[in-house]
Structure 1
């Protein structure tokens, strides 16, 4: 298999996860901010690899599989790191909502793909807005230090609430789109 640039960017996003994790926990000055910068770079490659693959007509089955896996791994690892850092019940709920939605929608997409109906839950604008909120919130929370008078961590924490709300909303939209097929499955005898 030949690796094109979009797929290489996706593989790079997976490879950067342990570096983000390590920098987050190492006791060096500004290591946490370096972790945030790497997270931002990885988040940017999420957009870039898809754009390049479509623009250059370099989409592949492997890339289509790996891209969402890389995104979900990056987000889940970062959220678990942040939960350990700020272990409150409310933060636990936000992390559970976001990771739970990702697992649910991934399973839903796999099930629909088996039925030839994956297009029912294609990524829409709401999902893209949710991702933007989520990536921005996580980036700011990873950075943590205020920038001048701007309380970066608190701003990120507030955006995480918005991301969780958008997460639930987008999940409801996807579930509604898939509901006719799920309902049909409930009405048929096993």
Structure 2
């Protein structure tokens, strides 16, 4: 992903222009397309009744996450805008989906405490990453963060499908599976946040600011 690239020196090398002509490349267009797709997804969730369609749109938006970073690295098209937009869109899709699911109430299995954990963790770790990388530290995504992202995506899809009145999504067994998935997502999100904090602490002990 663009967001994992090494910090670049000011005014040197590729990607230093935030809004220069080089931003109109394939990786950034994919990122913007994912943002537009997420907005369409939120509208469909808000309109209700299109739960399987919503789940499919979310899967496409989430699954294409790796494409922008892949093409940026392959064709050396890393830009400052891409490094900003890519992680923003990732969090926008996940957090936005959970917020709109929260509006559906208990039927979605999502509650306010769960959403608070998700958004709180993302805000804190994003701030921590920005603080460290601004000071030249490499704070790229870890395996716990990648697993967290994957589990959160599963939770969104399962929650969306559980709102469908059609079998097998309206069965007690599927609803139990949804609730277990949501609880597991909350725990893994908390674990990932703690893991990042400990990693930052070790980093600062080895190399104080």
Corresponding residue SS for 2:168: coil
TM-score of the pair, normalised by structure 1: 0.83
Counterpart for residue 25 of structure 1: 46
Which ranges in structure 1 are unaligned for 5 or more consecutive residues? 186-190
Which structure carries more helix by proportion? Answer: 1
TM-score of the pair, normalised by structure 2: 0.76
- For residues 59-87 of structure 1, the C-alpha deviation after alignment (integer angstroms, 9 at most, x for no partner) is 22211111000011111111111111125
Counterpart for residue 120 of structure 2: 100
Q: Which one of 186, 201, 204 corresponds to residue 164 of structure 1? A: 186
Alpha-carbon spacing, 1:170–1:8, altered in 2? closer, same or farther (3 Å): same
Corresponding residue SS for 1:123: coil
Counterpart for residue 67 of structure 1: 86
- For residues 79-116 of structure 1, the C-alpha deviation after alignment (integer angstroms, 9 at most, x for no partner) is 11111112599721111111100000010011112211
Q: Work out the CA distance in 2 between the residues paired with 1:23 and 1:45.
A: 19
What is the RMSD of the two structures over their aligned residues, measured on CA atoms? Answer: 2.5
Q: Work out the CA distance in 1 between the residues paired with 2:102 and 2:52.
A: 17
The answer on 1:13 being equivalent to 2:34 is: yes
Runs (4+) of structure 1 exceeding 4 A deviation are: 87-90, 149-154
Which ranges in structure 2 are unaligned for 5 or more consecutive residues? 1-20
Aligned residues: 180
Alpha-carbon spacing, 1:147–1:64, altered in 2? closer, same or farther (3 Å): farther
Q: Work out the CA distance in 1 between the residues paired with 2:35 and 2:110.
A: 28
Corresponding residue SS for 2:64: helix
Corresponding residue SS for 1:35: helix
Corresponding residue SS for 2:76: coil
Report if the CA contact (8 A) 1:25-1:32 is conserved.
no
